Structure 1
């Protein structure tokens, strides 16, 4: 699945450059290119709000396969149309691409716990981040030679082939899920289900582990309560205790499934999603400013400069995956780790644009990649700790926040670069991300201190009653 995702993402980044140039060829104006990009972002923004509702009615893998088929179809249409493509056909294709990307990403992220299990979701997220990072470098680096060799039709055909590979991998996973009877189901470890005593085990024999760190003790009576286990990715909060020997009652689904997605969200999760949108707003600055800096610093080979920068960034994300897969402590997966990683990423990207020596720029790019991979893995794993349908709702809101933040940041960065140097613009935008991360850290500190004070205040009262 990770390999298919990387192939599909590589085609996406390849067609991102090709589609921008092709849009200028079709529309003939810079305003037309901006309108096409705005339409794509707007459709992705709307799809973020609709994705949670869609996933309550349609299976995750079905949504992803449908998105791959739809995006692959429009890529084939653009490849066959070539220079004869009309503006309306281009607009329809861009709308499908924007909505399809969001639907596919939300479905994939929210499907990970059911696909690999709750305990392995962080490692799966790391594999996806690593694959996307490599796809970014390969897709951007291959855009120029592919377009030079076969034109826009070849670039669009490569993207369509990537969608076909992704759809094929999903079909294989779908058959495997049908064979195991676990299609789009929550794993027992996440649900906290415990196997009842079968009566064939002798007293004192341990039953197989059925939860995160929980074991069912098959005693004669079979009524010993389970100790709740803490989920490190969920911030260390313990799960609800389940009595041994009693099967968990099935979750009752409302006939009106849309009501299940209307549950209120916690303040911490909302702040994380808002910070993710602010991070996308800040990240748009270095994406827009990097080509400008590349042309100014290396006018003879700007593409080589950008390839080196993103390759170093990809190495950093790979290192983040290697580090996080070895850490199982609660501190590595908490909200504080996400906020601190956002600060480190913002400061690293800002340092890369201050005209420092080449070795320092390489170190800053690697540091930015490490922090970017760290925050991506921690953030996705934290949202995946929620149960469905809340999980799909969280990722849908996150996609909408990221799309809107990146769109606003792109427009603001383009306007700011007309009068200010790239170093000032990138530093100012990432300074906003640092402020948002500090606000989240302050909120976490205040809430933690209040909990500690409330606990210390309850103990003397309990002792005085005795």
Structure 2
């Protein structure tokens, strides 16, 4: 690419992919380390809860933080903080490791959320609003490959190199990402604004951002329910895989996620080519349809079908997952820049809440029920809300057309539907 902005963004996405590898590596390695240090399964659950709670709180604060600081400084600080926390844990004496683990949980949870909110909200400014779909697709592709690599290598890294080496490698990935963020140009000083005589709290500011676009609040709610559905298949996959093959329980999980990633990468290629040819963005309607396809595919993955059917189902799940993320992110990026950080911060909070609540509910349900009905209920809820969302969009489109019968296509503030 000849455009310096796009070159810098590609470098940033490469750094993000490296740090995403570290994130997925530590999802496995840190949980194992918590259990090795404490010897208690309850501590593993508490560690995950602390991580999710920190991400939840960071989502609430992200909009206000980005209103005061540049996205570059937020991304840089988030990566350096995570790298520093992991280095401190690796160097901590035995007596201090338990306390350090929960400091790492909070730092990684908050840092990951703040980085992603800052990246998503600043993408249009980095590459231009007309290139946002291309940029989001590139970002999702990098993270999908990193997820598979992180999950696939975590067991080998811990087994062959040990926990200390895994923590150091993880810290290096965040340092690499910080270096790519540092390569971005410094933000221009923001003009001074008159003080608001009636200061608003963070959450109402975020809610006000959603209120600027019709059905956007419902869209964010659907994203939260989708996160609940995601928690169901993430929790149920190890159980289902063990039931399929008790002697090789990792086979189904590994193959499923590799094929899922393939579907995700393929759809990103299609989206980028579509954008290069001047095609319209997928929009909110694509997000709703993609959510239905993705949820249905994840339910079918637990139906006990033969591999010949399961593989294309996993490809569909990955493709629909990638499509919905790009459509959702691109749609929120059509908000005015001043509101974007608040909207993405609230979205991150809703997603963390959905995923965390889902993990608790699904873990309890799997003690009693088989994986298929548990996943079907969680993803069925997402499908039901997606149908409501699509009906709302259709009704709005019909209303606009009836109000402007001579218009070839009614305008829609906030992106195409």
Structure 2 Cα separation of the partners of residues 163 and 422 of structure 1: 35
Structure 1 Cα separation of the partners of residues 215 and 189 of structure 2: 27
Structure 1 residue ranges (4+ consecutive) displaced by more than 4 angstroms after TM superposition: 182-185, 256-261, 328-332
Residue 256 of structure 1, CA deviation: 4.2
Of residues 154, 166, 171, the one that matches 2:177 is 166
CA-to-partner distance for each residue in 1:122-156, whole Å, 9 max, x for gaps? 11111110111001100001011100112111111
Of residues 312, 316, 340, the one that matches 2:259 is 312
Of residues 11, 18, 33, the one that matches 2:44 is 33
Match of 2:113 in 1: 102
Residue 296 of structure 1, CA deviation: 1.4
Residue 332 of structure 1, CA deviation: 4.3
Of residues 160, 185, 204, the one that matches 1:149 is 160
Match of 2:361 in 1: 412
Structure 1 Cα separation of the partners of residues 37 and 168 of structure 2: 18
Of residues 373, 377, 383, the one that matches 1:428 is 377
Structure 2 Cα separation of the partners of residues 16 and 433 of structure 1: 25
Match of 2:3 in 1: none
Match of 1:221 in 2: none
Superposed, 1:271-310 pairs within 5 Å as 271-310=218-257
Match of 2:302 in 1: 353
Q: Using a 3 Å threshold, how does the CA distance of structure 1 residues 457 and 150 change in structure 2: closer, same or farther?
A: closer
Match of 1:464 in 2: none
Superposed, 1:206-225 pairs within 5 Å as none
CA-to-partner distance for each residue in 1:381-405, whole Å, 9 max, x for gaps? 1111112221111100110010000
CA-to-partner distance for each residue in 1:234-292, whole Å, 9 max, x for gaps? xxxxxxxxxxxxxxxxx984434965973452341111111000000011000000111
CA-to-partner distance for each residue in 1:136-182, whole Å, 9 max, x for gaps? 10000101110011211111111100001001111112xxx24xxx6
Residue 302 of structure 1, CA deviation: 2.2
* 8 Å CA contact retained: 1:341, 1:374: yes
Residue 327 of structure 1, CA deviation: 2.5
Are 1:255 and 2:195 an aligned pair? yes
Q: Using a 3 Å threshold, how does the CA distance of structure 1 residues 298 and 183 change in structure 2: closer, same or farther?
A: farther
* 8 Å CA contact retained: 1:18, 1:155: yes
- Structure 1 residue runs of 5 or longer lacking an equivalent are 186-250, 459-466
Residue 32 of structure 1, CA deviation: 1.6
Name which of structure 1's ranges 315-324 and 258-267 shifts more when overlaid on structure 2: 258-267
Of residues 336, 344, 363, the one that matches 2:285 is 336
Of residues 323, 333, 357, the one that matches 1:374 is 323
Are 1:321 and 2:261 an aligned pair? no
Structure 1 Cα separation of the partners of residues 60 and 254 of structure 2: 34
Residue 330 of structure 1, CA deviation: 7.0
Normalized per residue, which structure has more helix? 2
Aligned residues: 387
Secondary structure of 2:274's counterpart equals coil
Q: Using a 3 Å threshold, how does the CA distance of structure 1 residues 184 and 41 change in structure 2: closer, same or farther?
A: farther
* 8 Å CA contact retained: 1:44, 1:400: yes
Structure 2 Cα separation of the partners of residues 374 and 432 of structure 1: 19
Q: Normalising by the residue count of structure 1, what TM-score does the alignment of the two structures yield?
A: 0.79
Structure 2 Cα separation of the partners of residues 344 and 252 of structure 1: 47
Q: Using a 3 Å threshold, how does the CA distance of structure 1 residues 82 and 405 change in structure 2: closer, same or farther?
A: farther
Q: Using a 3 Å threshold, how does the CA distance of structure 1 residues 253 and 320 change in structure 2: closer, same or farther?
A: farther
Residue 412 of structure 1, CA deviation: 0.7
Match of 1:88 in 2: 99
Match of 1:193 in 2: none
Secondary structure of 2:354's counterpart equals helix
Structure 1 Cα separation of the partners of residues 93 and 279 of structure 2: 53
Superposed, 1:197-208 pairs within 5 Å as none
- Structure 2 residue runs of 5 or longer lacking an equivalent are 1-11, 408-417
* 8 Å CA contact retained: 1:82, 1:153: no
